């Protein structure tokens, strides 16, 4: 029984490669939103030309899908911080759940998305959820 892409080795690998190709525009959007147009283009170009990323994108595994969904989740979390896009939280939750379904390591990313929205005592903070890891936290926190 043939799938949408077929049953050959190239067909199986192409599905993973298509999922990984979706990571490039997601990284562009995230880089543009956080740091500007030039950074978004540079980051997307570096990802698209990264030999390790291209190699893993051609494997018949979920690594490319994981990268695409994780970057999309970060992009939607960042979009949620702005009042002009109130539905970003729903999209972030959906892509986060799909990323966890694709690979269990994505649970750590979702934890990073959710952690800033809760205080120590468990009461919801007034601050919006934001990505908080490394230089992204400095940039987002500096606004």
pLDDT, tens digit, 9 for 90 and up, residues 46-73: 999 999 999 988 887 888 899 999 999 8
In order of 22, 63, 81, 88, 100, the CA distances from 112 in angstroms are 22, 19, 15, 16, 13
Where exactly are the structural domains of the chain? 9-141
| Cβ contacts of 46 within 8 Å, gap of 6 or more | none
pTM: 0.73
Instruction: Give residue 24's pLDDT.
Output: 95
């Amino acid at each position: 029984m043939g799938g949408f892409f077929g049953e050959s080795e190239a067909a199986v690998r192409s599905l993973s490669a298509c999922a990984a190709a979706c990571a490039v525009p997601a990284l562009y959007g995230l880089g543009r939103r956080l740091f500007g147009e030039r950074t978004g283009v540079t980051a997307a170009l570096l990802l698209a030309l990264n030999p390790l990323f291209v190699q893993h994108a051609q494997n018949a595994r979920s690594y490319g899908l994981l990268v695409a969904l994780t970057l999309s989740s970060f992009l939607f979390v960042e979009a949620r911080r702005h009042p002009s896009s109130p539905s970003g939280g729903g999209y972030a939750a959906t892509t986060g759940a799909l990323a966890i379904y694709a690979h269990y390591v994505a649970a750590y990313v979702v934890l990073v998305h959710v952690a800033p929205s809760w205080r120590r005592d468990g009461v919801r903070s007034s601050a919006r959820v934001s990505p908080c890891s490394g230089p992204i936290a400095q940039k987002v926190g500096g606004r």
